[in-house]
Structure 1
Amino acid sequence: MNTSPFTPRGLDAHAVTISRVADNQWHAVENDLVVGRGHASRRLDGRTFVSIDTWRGDVFDQLAAAMLTDQPLYTVVDENDRDVMAGWERAGLTTSRREYEFVVPTDQPATPAPSGVVITAADEEPLRLLDKAIRAEVEAGAGWQTMPAEVLPWQGGTRPLDPSKYTVAIRDGRYVGLVRVATRTRRPRIGLVAVLAAEQHHGIGRALLTHVLRGLHDSGFEAVTAEVDESNKPALALFESLGAQRTGTTLELVSRPEEV
């Protein structure tokens, strides 16, 4: 366990001690009371995300200083949470991406699929081929920073896929587009809408999305949630054309080791 003291000013002030109580956890202790906690978690894409829980700015600063390393660290913050934003900015973190949160009504008129395209449930093996192809296109193009946080770079090997979460578009026997939906939440969540580059700008994404929304509406859901990177103009235009209402903005911040 590593500890470091911080003594605030004032005759009646108690020393704050920062202790690393586990590989990924820190405690700030003052007068035998825990007054702040820090946590780090390494995601499958290799990035480490950090968070701090305290109501005091001085404790936040001490925890951040203890947690930051010579490697880039990331955190996710609600743009309206000014206090937390200010704390991470004092620690030297800067915005690396901005993601808009939407609520999308499910009562949508169905958009016919383009000629020759069929929309249906997914099977695992052709879904896996489409998943790899889309990932390769994103990696070679816009980059993973524009993708939803849960969409991780390809790690090799066999990544688990649950076909029941996907609806796909098929042309000439080949999967060309997909929508993934998570339903184990208060509102279903659109996790990903993606179409192969060669098949884009023909209405496949819209047909897929309205098909899924209509199905959720028939199942009793009035709305779903979705997140879209601010740089993804086509996706923003698609969701806004469906009457999506922006409900919040999430920022992903990153530490630059040379600035820490």
Structure 2
Amino acid sequence: METFLSGEPAVVITRVAPRLWHALDDDRVAGRGEASTRPDGRMFLSIDAWHRSVFDQLADAMLADLPAPLHTIVDEADTELVAGWERAGFTTRRREWEYFVPTDAGPALPPPGVTIVPRGSASEGPLRELDRVVRAEVEASVGWPEMPAEVLPHPPGDTVVDPALYAAAAAGGEYVGLVRVVQVARLPRIGLIAVRADHRRRGIARALLADVLGALRDAGIPTASAEVNEADPAATALFEGLGARRASSNLELVRHGG
């Protein structure tokens, strides 16, 4: 047990599960640290501690036990939390803007030869095939870690958890675009929008978004949310063209070791 001056708590850090750490102050939990692996294989950390010294000790213990690289996501406005991770050696990897998207943006027709399959009506087989294609395209270009981080409970390799969450764009007997909308309390989240590389810049993404936003509007929901990588000007232009406004920003921080 370590004792700290100036009123700092004396805590013992215990690894209570393979990916869970507790900071104990006289057998009371004074802080928790947790590690989780995302679908793309990256490991993300989170720490919940009221006292700076407890945060630092939990971070030190987790870094000693886990292989690098390690990641975390923080609200950029939480400067104290950002500073804590920076003390642990983490640096900013990228910024993600959270947008509030109005659902009354109006219709957008798909290009000739393309039809929109409404959310919940997409066929599972073609949907999974398109998901594999667009993920391979992303991985061959910018890399999937550059896409918004997704935390979804699914078996390895199965990235379409619930086909009912998706709308799709169909052309020539196959799907060429998709959008996933997750209902989170009263603020639905646009978790993923993707169009096959050979069908981009035709207005398909805008038509997909207009369709799902219109359905939300008809259900009495005025606003949805979406996260956009600061380094993705096409996605930024797409959402801002629909009247979306920036609400906040998250930082992805990374520690490479050493």
Do both proteins adopt the same fold according to a TM-score greater than 0.5, normalized to the shorter chain? yes
Q: Residue by residue, what CA displacement relative to the aligned partner does 1:207-242 show, whole Å, maximum 9, x if unpaired?
A: 111111111111111111111111111011000011
Equivalent residue, structure 1, for 2:42: 47
Is 1:166 aligned to residue 166 of structure 2? Answer: yes
Equivalent residue, structure 2, for 1:210: 210
Q: Where do 5+ consecutive residues of structure 2 fail to align?
A: none
TM-score scaled by length of structure 2: 0.90
Query: For the residues of structure 2 that align with 1:181 and 1:216, how far apart are their CA atoms?
Result: 10
Q: Residue by residue, what CA displacement relative to the aligned partner does 1:20-46 show, whole Å, maximum 9, x if unpaired?
A: 222222222234433222122233332
Task: Specify the SS of the correspondent of 1:257.
Answer: coil
Whether contact under 8 Å (1:146, 1:232) holds in the other structure is no
Query: For the residues of structure 2 that align with 1:155 and 1:51, how far apart are their CA atoms?
Result: 23
Count residues with an aligned counterpart: 252
Q: Residue by residue, what CA displacement relative to the aligned partner does 1:116-167 show, whole Å, maximum 9, x if unpaired?
A: 1111131011111111110110000111122121178x98765554221111
Equivalent residue, structure 2, for 1:239: 239
Equivalent residue, structure 1, for 2:30: 35
Q: CA deviation at 1:185?
A: 2.7
Query: For the residues of structure 1 that align with 2:96 and 2:49, how far apart are their CA atoms?
Result: 25
Cα RMSD for the two superposed structures: 2.1
**1:136-151, aligned counterparts within 5 Å?**
136-150=136-150
Is 1:9 aligned to residue 5 of structure 2? Answer: yes
**1:50-65, aligned counterparts within 5 Å?**
50-65=45-60
Residue 11 of structure 2 aligns with an amino acid whose one-letter code is V
Flag the structure with larger Rg.
Answer: 1
Q: Where do 5+ consecutive residues of structure 1 fail to align?
A: none
Equivalent residue, structure 2, for 1:90: 87
Query: For the residues of structure 2 that align with 1:113 and 1:45, how far apart are their CA atoms?
Result: 31
Equivalent residue, structure 2, for 1:23: 18
Task: Specify the SS of the correspondent of 1:6.
Answer: coil
Q: Residue by residue, what CA displacement relative to the aligned partner does 1:74-105 show, whole Å, maximum 9, x if unpaired?
A: 11100000111101000001112211101100
Question: Which 10-residue stretch deviates more, 103-112 or 27-36?
Answer: 27-36
Question: Which 10-residue stretch deviates more, 65-74 or 24-33?
Answer: 24-33
TM-score scaled by length of structure 1: 0.90
Residue 142 of structure 2 aligns with an amino acid whose one-letter code is A
